[in-house]
Structure 1
Amino acid sequence: MEDQALAAATADRIDGKAFADGLVARMAAEVAQIRADTGLLPGLAVVLVGEDAASAVYVNAKHRQTMAVGMASFVHRLPAETSQADLLALLDQLNADTAVHGILVQLPLPAHLDALEVIERIDPAKDVDGFHAVNAGRLATGQEALVPCTPLGCLMMLKDRLGDLTGLNAVVIGKSNIVGKPMSQLLLAENCTVITTHSKTKNLPDLCRMADILVVAVGRPGLVRGDWIRPGATVIDVGINRVEENGKSRITGDVAFEEAGHAAAITPVPGGVGPMTIACLLANTLTAFRRRHSLPAVSLAAE
């Protein structure tokens, strides 16, 4: 009977696209006000090395959305054979450019380039991806930092849904520098009790069943089954996986979505976390601009 009741329940879908659209609209209004008050514009520089098709799509999308909110967009497209020295020299120029407040180097880079050295060359104050060791360290120690875009978007949606997160049990599946680790740090900063898990964790289903908040970011389709999820939990599925079924391709998350109806709310894939990433990139650029010009922080939370 309990299983039937769980199967009959329907979790609310957390609409990441609608949330991102609202965030973008609020940023556009904020940028317009900044321009009216100061005559200045936040500027985002994106560097693309090579001709990776997926990366080119992402860069084009970032350029369009940057322009749509009224920010200045600087796209640097470099040939695949660009040397490490030439790429670092470009970053030095962008670090020194007062019109540029955010710098992003699109990953992955061609195999002959050292991505870690490239990331570490970016001025931490302009590191809108939040990948620089200085930003990672500042986040871990509770200081002001630029935060990786995906976990930042997850946190925004969680706070919008749940309000104050104090005292909630949060389980994060994944320990990457891009999502898992910063997500855990953000939840700790919100006074959650956080368990960070990964592929080597023992008794993972039992740990998940303790979670008021479950964030999954491992890139394994359908890893989290319905009976791993506590009734009433809020589930954030960061996974984006392409699977083949009966000769057709579809996109799915890391959570068995059709089994999660007893959750209070869940992000669908697609349409959940994904749309928030570029929106939060622009939010980080706006944050970097305000810090650079010693302007007070402004909340971009929905009213």
Structure 2
Amino acid sequence: MENKLLLNGTRVATDIKEQLKGRVEELTSRGVTPCLATVLVGDDPSSATYVKMKGNACEKLGILSKRIHLPAEITTEDLLKTIHELNEDEAVHGILLQHPVPSHIDERAAFEAIDIEKDVDGVTSWGFGQTSFGFGSYPSCTPAAIMAILNYYDVPIEGKHAVIVGRSPILGKPVSMLLLNRNATVTTCHSRTQNLPEIVKQADIVVAAVGKPKFIKGDWIKPGAVVMDAGYNPGNIGDADYEECEKNAGAITPVPGGVGPVTISMLLKHTVDAAEKKLNQQ
């Protein structure tokens, strides 16, 4: 990795989807169509766009996309009822509840209602626990995407110092665990971390997952460090200042075209994994 490396997520995603094609055909030939149910609550335009993108990606591969659109004023109780019905539906292999849900809904209760065997987006605490212990089937999709990109480009992880900026339950925390399980030394930072620039400067691998545009500055990056930008802000801007960070980085993901496309392909992969697992159990 002597030369600067652009970590092209679009290429990684294409590769993953190519590998899935044959597996979907094999399942279909055995009478099983992998099915992802997406649950959208309310009319948030960006959530609707995400759900549509996921559905289209499914259909291109021959994965069935079951789209459930619920009114914004639905109660937590009724949302849980919908999720339980999907848990019981033999034809559904994966369930995705689009985040965020309207504020009056208990989002954590809704996530926890998803059957562990169908938690292809890695949102349950049970799934997180399994991921942390190193035997989870379906880690959260963005952390899984970050690992897939590192693996694709043979970025060394063992013994390296990884600094994660952000501690959300479906991004910062699980990616910390996945890197720890690969023998990285991990520092997880957040909004209360003191001397953040100094900590980031020590990192061999930086994961930007803070949800603030251009938050990670170029002079925070140690020369040769790997920058994984998991942020996606209005205007196609990541959480790292790409132009400045790229000057020091040895490898970096662009936004768009970095972690995002791989996140969707990991969701598809987990759905196919779940369909295969269910077929093998029968």
Using the size of structure 1 for normalisation, the TM-score is: 0.87
2:253 alignment counterpart: 267
Matched residue SS, 2:36: strand
Alignment of 1:283 with 2:275, yes or no, is no
Once the 2 structures are TM-superposed, how far is the Cα of residue 257 of structure 1 from its aligned partner?
1.4
In 2, the alpha carbon distance for the partners of 1:256 and 1:49 equals 33
Q: Which amino acid aligns with 2:198?
A: D
Q: Of 24, 29, 32, which aligns to 2:25?
A: 32
Does 172-181 or 141-150 show the bigger shift? Answer: 141-150
Partners of 1:168 and 1:215 lie apart in 2 by 13
Quickly say closer, same or farther: Cα 1:64–1:251, change in 2 above 3 A.
closer
SS in 1 for 2:145: helix
CA distance in 2, matches of 1:63, 1:89: 22
Q: Which amino acid aligns with 1:251?
A: N
Q: Distance in 2 between matches of 1:81 and 1:208?
A: 42
**In the alignment, which residue of structure 2 is the partner of 1:194?**
186
In the TM superposition, residue 281 of structure 1 has moved relative to its aligned partner by: 0.9
Offset at residue 223 of structure 1 (A): 2.0
* 1:255 alignment partner, one of 232, 240, 261: 240
- Of 194, 200, 203, the match for 1:208: 200
Counterpart contact for 2:12–2:152, Cα < 8 Å:
no
Aligned match of 2:134: 142
Residues 37 and 95 of structure 2 are in contact (CA less than 8 Å); yes or no, is this contact kept in structure 1? yes
Query: In the alignment, what sits opposite 2:12?
Result: 19
1:86 aligns with 2:71: no
Does 2:34 match 1:42?
A: yes
Amino acid at match of 1:33: E
Q: Is the 8 A contact 2:27 2:276 kept in 1?
A: no
Distance change >3 Å, CA 12–CA 150, structure 1 → 2: same
Q: Are 1:10 and 1:262, in contact at CA under 8 Å, matched by a contact in 2?
A: no
2:96 counterpart of 1:111: no
CA drift of 1:80 comes to: 2.2
Kept after mapping to 2: 8 A contact 1:11/1:265: yes
Q: CA deviation at 1:208?
A: 1.5
User: What TM-score, normalized by structure 2, do the two folds share?
Assistant: 0.93
Give 1:86 shift. 2.2
Q: 1:164 Cα deviation (Å)?
A: 4.9
Q: 2:145 aligns with which of 149, 153, 160?
A: 153
Question: In the TM superposition, what whole-angstrom CA distance separates every residue of 1:262-281 from its partner, at most 9, and x where no partner exists?
Answer: 21110111221111221111
Q: Distance in 2 between matches of 1:13 and 1:109?
A: 34
- Deviations, residues 40-99 of structure 1 (Å, cap 9, x unaligned): 121111111222211111111111111111112211112223232222221111101111
Unaligned runs of at least 5 residues, structure 2: none
Distance in 2 between the 1:225 and 1:91 partners?
41
**Residues 144-198 of structure 1: CA distance to partner in whole angstroms, max 9, x if unpaired?**
3421111100110011123552212211111111110000000011111111111
Larger radius of gyration: 1
Partners of 1:89 and 1:197 in 2: how far apart?
A: 37
Q: Report the 3-state secondary structure (helix = DSSP H, G, I; strand = E; otherwise coil) of the residue aligned with 2:105.
A: coil
CA contact (8 A) 2:32 2:275 kept: no
Q: What does the per-residue CA deviation read over 1:198-237, in whole Å, with 9 as the maximum and x for residues that have no partner? A: 1222222222222221111102222222221111111101
Counterpart-to-counterpart distance in 1, 2:104 and 2:194? 37
* Pairwise CA distance, 1:117: 1.1
In the TM superposition, structure 1's runs of 4+ consecutive aligned residues that sit over 6 Å from their partners are none
Offset at residue 121 of structure 1 (A): 0.9
Write the distance in 2 (CA, Å) between the matches of 1:199 and 1:73. 37
Give the total of aligned pairs.
279
